Amino acid sequence: MRKMSRGRIWFEALAGAIPDGELASVLCADGAVGGERARFLAVVPDPEARFPRARGGELGLEEGCTLGRSVREAVAEDGDGDRRALVAVVDVPGQPYGYREELLGLHLALASAVDAYATARLAGHPVVALVVGQAISGAFLAHGMQANRILALDDPGVAVQVMSKRSTARVTRRSVDELDRIAEEVPATAYDVGSFARLGVLDRLVEGVDATHPDTEDVETVRGALAEEITSARHDGSTNLSSRLASPEARQHRGASLRVRERLAEEWSG
């Protein structure tokens, strides 16, 4: 039996379609949200993936390229007409750590996905990320972070960070306990979705939903939230990421990001 990752569970619940892609680790299907056409994308584990280090749901060489191609196809197909929404269902444990991956240019595979999502956003597609599980590091940069809108389920299994806690402890030569203590003071180093929300990047934290065994009502709640965010992104008309710095939370917890931009603007033309 195929392991049901959170990414797969939510992809199937929302897309309501069986993906027909060539790559088993990237799910892609067109569906609808609130009367809008939407393309859903998710990265899931594939125990038989061609590159062994990307069998656990990591965003690797083939996953980066396939996301890039699937998003670009939607941009090309929609042309100057009605641009469908793109929904990135995010449950990614990170990128694979491997010799072969680096040799073959893993950074470029991830750049392919980043490029495609950013290009779609600039072209006017509402791009929405829905974080249902892990959102770690380069994988989240490539699948989610270029979205106009980011939603997350309010669930203890949702984690947003730049490296696994175990690895961070090794690299920074600190104990896991010490990292937990620092996280209480510096929310940017915490793993829980509540701390991530404090940085002002989340457009919506969806509460009261079972993240691992969603029932019909849970799915409808998330679908409703997605529909509202897609509509909001469309009406807002902004195709950049500036709204992330406009929230009250960002003013409080990303003050330095704003201060730097103010000073740069004042000094730019000399």
Which 110-149 residues touch another protein, going by CB under 8 A? 110-112, 114-116, 118-119, 121-122, 137-138, 140-142, 145-146
Backbone φ and ψ of 259, nearest 5°: -60, -45
Please pick, from the candidates 17, 182, 234, 243, the single residue that binds another protein as defined by CB under 8 A: 182
Give the binding-site size for another protein (rule: CB under 8 A). Answer: 78
Q: Quick count: other Cβ atoms within 10 Å of Cβ 65?
A: 18
Residues in 33-62 at the binding interface with another protein, rule: CB under 8 A? 50-53, 61-62
158: left (phi over 0), alpha (psi -120 to 50) or beta: beta
Please pick, from the candidates 58, 63, 101, 218, the single residue that binds another protein as defined by CB under 8 A: 101
- Stretch near another protein under the rule CB under 8 A, chosen from 84-92, 164-172, 214-222, 228-236: 164-172
Tokens of 106: 């893993």
The reply on whether position 197 binds another protein by CB under 8 A is no
The reply on whether position 154 binds another protein by CB under 8 A is no
Q: What is the largest CA-CA distance in the chain?
A: 64
Please pick, from the candidates 33, 89, 106, 222, the single residue that binds another protein as defined by CB under 8 A: 106
Share in percent of the chain as helix, strand, coil (round to 5)? 50, 15, 35
3-state secondary structure of 70: helix
Residues in 58-87 at the binding interface with another protein, rule: CB under 8 A? 61-62, 65-66, 68-69, 72
Identify the residue whose tokens are 């175990």. 166
Asked if 57 contacts 93 with a C-beta cutoff of 8 angstroms, the reply is yes
The reply on whether position 236 binds another protein by CB under 8 A is no
12 vs 62, which CB is nearer to another protein?
A: 62
